[in-house]
Amino acid sequence: MATRSDMALEIQLGAVEKETTEEAVRSALTAAFTHMHSGGNGRRRGGKALVEHLEVARGAAAGAGEWHVVRLLQDSLDYAEGRINQLDFIERYRIFQDGARRELNRDFAASSLRAMHEWLIAASEAYLRDHPGASAQEVLSHFRSQRADTSFLQAPDDRPGRYVIPRGMSEISLWLERLLRSDRIEIENPASEARRLATSPEALALLAADHDGRLILQAAELQRRSAGLRALRAVVDAADATEADLQRALQGNHWIFGGRYVGEAARRRLVPGDEVDIPLIRADGALHIVELKRSMGLKKPLIKRHRNAWVPADAVHEAVGQAVNYLVGLDENRARIREEFGIETRRAGALVLLGHPALHADVPEEEVAETLRTFNAHVTRVEVLTYKELVDNAERSLAVGGGPA
């Protein structure tokens, strides 16, 4: 930041001059005033020379034992070098009020504090509505991530008077910075360049057209996916996680289900009376629905013992039956759905996600997985997976480079 030199600083230094009895301090302050008024067009000069004059004055005051003057000069230096806010500086020394408190500054501080608290309350209530079981630590972590994103605040041209803080931008910028610091790419100022790239759609488009740029974007996307997967696993392992919690953790992360899917359908209600949890679109344009049940919070067993073998229990059959009913409805309304929404449901399939091997502490995890695989082999359009197997498969995909193409 450039050295600040203004009327507030000059008035404060004038007050300092009245406080000192040391001639060396007065001489240094006179040199500072002369320098400040040497600018053209009535503008006060700052710069390194002003700082040096103030440092000389501070040293002379210290040598004379005038410690109250030293403190005043240190504040002058901090203000000139941008370490003290202008309003704080003016209020601290009551520069323009002849010793009276400036009520405008007080009211401004009060209104700013009130607005901040109102926003905190509203944001906390919104977060707790989406995460009703969130702990105090999770709420604090949410606000820490928002604080990191505030430096990327944007003012959209099409929304005058409105400001937007893009979520997750600080994380992407950090990764871009780390990659730009690598030996493969020489960048003069990686932090500044990373911030520019993270906030510029045009720059991201140019990166996508460049080989090294694509590597950077892929790395940033891998980081996003890894973070999403960690968040999903935390929800999967939580005993109190609801189906709504699991749905929020999965939405927007269709890659977790494998490379066959290119995205999610915008509408979840395609058939009157039925609303699917997650509607995936396969690469061939066909629909594939995901039916979600609880993970660690599932109240019924996944498998049971029958004639010396493990077989799927009622919870599995009930969920599969619900998925089949959805598929029947999609088949019966195929023509209307294709005409209204452009989605093909003739070859639609379903994935049922439910439970966790840890629900059967006395059964080896592989036995649970094998029982469900055997069941899947005899069902045509529906597949059953535990959440743990889904997350494990996604983590293996990332580990072997199964990131964005």
Instruction: Please check whether residue 120 lies inside any domain of the structure.
Output: yes
Tell me the residue type at 190: P
* Residue that the structure tokens 């209020």 belong to: 91
| pLDDT, tens only, 290-328 | 999 999 999 899 999 988 889 999 999 999 999 999 999
Residue 347 is part of a domain; what is its CATH number? 3.40.91
Tokens describing residue 393: 């498969």
Q: Within this chain, do residues 343 and 276 fall inside the same structural domain, yes or no?
A: yes
The alpha carbon of residue 21 and the mean position of all alpha carbons in its chain are separated, in whole angstroms, by 56
Question: In total, how many domains does the chain have?
Answer: 3
pTM value is 0.50
Task: Please report, as a single letter, which amino acid is at residue 326.
Answer: Y
Give me the residues of the chain with pLDDT under 70, please: 1-2, 94-106, 108-109, 148-221, 223, 400-405
Does 164 lie in the same domain as 32? no
The range of the structural domain enclosing residue 262 comes to: 222-401
Give a yes or no: residue 335 inside a domain. Answer: yes
> Closest by alpha carbon to 54, among 83, 13, 7?
13
Q: Is residue 199 part of a domain?
A: no
Any domain includes 197: no
Q: Which pLDDT score, from 0 to 100, does residue 184 have?
A: 47
pLDDT value of position 403: 54
Does residue 258 sit in the same domain as residue 376?
Answer: yes
Same structural domain, 156 and 259? no
Same domain, 171 and 308: no
Do 123 and 52 fall into the same domain?
A: no
- Per the listing, tokens 């974007």 go with 217
